[in-house]
């Protein structure tokens, strides 16, 4: 039996909900994965993550292979033991660092300068698989080339085809029966390339599929069209993971088109700058109007932060750069994100997703509940 399987339980148009079965437990979809790049989600711990409803988290292959190293993590029980997190984990492969750090890329792999000490680091598709096998996540990702947009068509074409070749090599290198390997669809916002990438990647028989190369400078319209194109070529019985997407409108657009999984730094990153995500519109807690506001960020939110602390207190913590302020606002923003996906799943079950999406957007635009 495959290490990871996905089963749909309800649909509404193209949208669907279901269960992802993994060696470390079941994950409800649509699912959001908080980003724990270096084996830690910034400002929160594993108890905080469990309390807001996280069922799977993401860690980063590139950073962990450098510090503290895959062998050390493997000797300390893999990522699950190292982090003290008994639920599912997914590791990305380092493809995003190919976008963000601009290494030298050729058919063999990517050559980086370490962000820690400047030393030369080379990683091949086989290396990425081997590192992830030592890290021990439930789901590993094939190494891909993520191209920032806009980009010359010939560059998008070249890197899409390189990603396909790397995907084949990744499958050949993968050997852990208790770990799933996902392929990644590239192709920018070119319909033909995106469709070809999805079709060819699907034919390789991966356990699931990441949609890469989006949320890197394209418009919402181009992103949505690219998702439609990719999903039309992917099998209905395997999970679809839109990589790096986490804003409210983006999540709702992708869920409506049939996406199952997401990751993004937005909830925790914006929290560290004082931004609160809210059902009636996002806002910055630093504003003077909250100086003496004794109400919670959201009176209808059940998170630890909203049950125990006022906007005035959170504003004070953020303004003095108190670390607990980062934690408390991150907890709320994560809770908002998980509640959004949970409510979307309920709407799919009840065949009312379109009305739900319209209502969410109306409330956030009007600023009223």
SS3 for 24?
coil
Active-site choice (48, 157, 263, 339): 263
Report yes or no: 357 and 340 within 8 Å, Cβ to Cβ. Answer: no
Q: Where are the beta strands (DSSP E) in the chain?
A: 5-12, 15-22, 25-29, 31-34, 57-60, 89-92, 104-106, 109-113, 120-123, 139-141, 180-185, 208-211, 240-242, 261-264, 275-276, 283-284
Asked if 263 is an active-site residue, the reply is yes
Active-site choice (48, 92, 190, 253): 92
Supply the DSSP symbol for 153.
Answer: H
Report yes or no: 181 and 128 within 8 Å, Cβ to Cβ. Answer: no
Q: What is the C-alpha separation between 167 and 226, in angstroms, rounded? A: 20
Question: 365: Cβ–Cβ under 8 A, 6 or more apart, which residues?
Answer: 281
Query: Of 140, 133, 148, 131, which is closest to residue 167 (Cα–Cα)?
Result: 140
Active-site amino acid positions: 92, 263
């Amino acid at each position: 039996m495959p290490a990871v399987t996905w089963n749909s339980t309800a649909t509404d148009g193209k949208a669907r909900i279901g269960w992802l079965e993994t060696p470390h437990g079941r994950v409800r979809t649509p699912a959001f994965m908080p980003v724990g790049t270096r084996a830690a989600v910034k400002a929160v711990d594993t108890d905080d993550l469990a309390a807001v409803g996280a069922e799977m988290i993401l860690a980063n292959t590139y950073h962990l292979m450098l510090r503290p190293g895959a062998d050390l993590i493997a000797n300390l029980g893999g990522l699950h033991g190292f982090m003290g997190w008994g639920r599912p984990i997914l590791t990305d492969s380092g493809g995003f660092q190919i976008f963000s750090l601009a290494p030298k890329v050729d058919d063999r792999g990517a050559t980086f300068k370490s962000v820690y000490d400047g030393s030369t680091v080379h990683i091949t598709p086989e290396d990425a698989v081997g590192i992830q096998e030592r890290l021990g996540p439930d789901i590993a990702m094939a190494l891909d080339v993520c191209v920032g947009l806009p980009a010359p068509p010939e560059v998008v074409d070249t890197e899409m085809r390189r990603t396909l070749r790397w995907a084949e090599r990744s499958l050949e290198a993968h050997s852990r029966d208790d770990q799933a390997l996902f392929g990644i669809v590239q192709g920018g916002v070119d319909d033909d390339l995106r469709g070809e990438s999805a079709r060819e990647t699907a034919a390789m028989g991966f356990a699931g599929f990441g949609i890469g190369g989006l949320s890197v400078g394209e418009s919402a319209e181009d992103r949505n069209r690219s998702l439609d194109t990719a999903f039309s070529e992917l099998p209905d019985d395997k999970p679809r993971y839109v990589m790096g997407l986490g804003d409210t409108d983006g999540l709702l657009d992708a869920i409506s088109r049939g996406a199952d999984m997401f990751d993004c730094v937005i909830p925790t990153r914006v929290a560290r700058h004082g931004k609160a995500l809210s059902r009636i519109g996002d806002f910055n807690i630093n504003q003077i109007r909250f100086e003496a506001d004794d109400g919670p960020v959201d009176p209808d939110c059940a998170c630890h932060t909203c049950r125990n602390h006022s906007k005035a207190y959170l504003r004070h913590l953020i303004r003095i750069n108190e670390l607990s302020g980062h934690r408390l606002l991150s907890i709320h923003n994560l809770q908002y994100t998980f509640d959004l996906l949970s409510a979307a799943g309920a709407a799919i079950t009840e065949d009312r997703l379109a009305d739900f999406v319209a209502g969410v957007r109306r409330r956030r635009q009007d600023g009223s509940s």
